[in-house]
Amino acid sequence: MPFKFEKLDIWKLSIEFANDVHLLTRSFPKEEMFSLTSQFKRAADSISLNIAEGSIGQTNPEQRKFIGYSIRSVAECVNCLHLSLKREYISQEAFDKFYAAAELLFAKTTKFRNSIIDR
């Protein structure tokens, strides 16, 4: 693996999370294709994309900035989960599973960002 981000556990977790979101949203109503479904998938994909982009940056503050974007995308996914549950597109069980995965990803990504020293 030639890229630094491919070694990061948070990147691997975010790839799995995005794939799981993709599979979950397949069952959403067609009317949501260009709204909630699209937004949820883009937010989930954005987590790993920003981790990757930030790892290629020239400075630690730049990497911290992109990790921050990833964290915001996790929060956006949590909001999408709430909307999905409220609209009855997912079960409480699915909500709980994805919420726990988002919490873990949020915690690990925040911890990683806090470990990056501004120089």
Q: How far apart are CA 117 and CA 2, in angstroms?
A: 23
This prediction has a pTM of: 0.94
Q: Which CATH architecture has domain 4-115?
A: Up-down Bundle (1.20)
Q: Apex CA 16: angle with CA 76 and CA 44, to 5°? A: 20
Checking if the pLDDT of 19 tops 70, the result is yes
Nearest-Å Rg of the Cα atoms of the chain is 15
Which residue ranges make up each domain of the chain? 4-115
Q: What is the pLDDT of residues 46-91, one digit of tens each?
A: 999 999 999 997 799 999 999 999 999 999 999 999 999 999 999 9
> What is the C-alpha to C-alpha distance for residues 11 and 48, in angstroms, rounded to an integer?
5
User: Measured between alpha carbons, how far is 79 from 23 in angstroms, rounded to an integer?
Assistant: 18
